[in-house]
Amino acid sequence: MSEQPDPHTFRQNMIRSGTVLPARREDVVLHTADGLTLVGELALPPERDPVATLVTLHPLPTHGGFMDSHVYRKASYRLPALADIAVLRFNLRGVSSPRGTSQGAFDSGDAERYDVAAAIEFAEFRELPQPWLVGWSFGTDLALMHGCDPSIVGAILLSPPLRYSAPDDLAQWAASGKRVLALVPELDDYLRPDEARERFAAIPQAEVVGVDGAKHLWVGEPAVRRVLDEIVARVAPDRAPLPTTWDGPLGEALHAD
């Protein structure tokens, strides 16, 4: 097994914060059961069919969360090319981004049940394989409350605050037997690893991974790489760990962070 290069050392064709790798990108519209349209993007591998799918649920809109929240944007920039994973991003109701504005208004996680269902139904309609929910902060509560659908393989929870979700939601996931991974920053503002292990004990199959030095927003390229590697290790394990260089064409995002 070859040794992984140091990701902090600059090299030719190194994948950096703003690197955009090839993908088939498509603007999409989701339709909710309560009559709203939500705007989003589907990123597919550039040449092959996907082996798995991420259905992403973004952080709290009232605190700046949207489909372009940086971890999700970078997942869409990298994972289709590096891991043959499809990435679906969309704005929850009432949320705007450069892609556009989704109809409706923020409802503190209640009516957002229809948004989660619309995303799952879209993945089913498009026959996207092995769909996993990936929630971040508020999005983790949406996954726990509304995402335990028969078609979903499991849930990956980034910085879960367990703020809106209730014990009954955890019990539903426990009974389902579906895989649950919680990535919990050591320095999180809301829920840190030791407490997370206690609270997620309600889901016997849940895996709680504490990430040393990380914070709630996963700022910095090392934190992003760790998140993406952990996701791929569960969703498409034969594609992990992700390479840190790319031999083909490299694009660059207008705004890297």
pLDDT in tens, 32-44: 999 999 999 999 9
Domain extents in the chain: 25-238
Q: Which residue has the tokens 């979700």?
A: 165
State how far the alpha carbon of 181 is from the alpha carbons of 109, 116, 123, 168, in Å.
21, 18, 21, 18
Q: How far apart are CA 40 and CA 45, in angstroms?
A: 17
Neighbour tally for 126: CB within 10 Å: 16
Spatial contact of 74 and 94, defined as CB atoms under 8 Å apart:
no
131-183 pLDDT, tens digit each: 999 999 999 999 999 999 999 999 999 999 999 999 999 999 999 999 999 99
The model's pTM is 0.94
The average pLDDT across 206-226 equals 98
Question: In the CATH scheme, what is the code of domain 25-238?
Answer: 3.40.50.1820
179-201 pLDDT, tens digit each: 999 999 999 999 999 999 999 99
pLDDT of residue 7 exceeding 50:
no
- HSE-CB of 216 using CA atoms within 13 angstroms: 15
Q: Looking at residue 256, what is its pLDDT?
A: 52
Instruction: Give the pLDDT band of residue 251 (cuts 50, 70, 90).
Output: confident
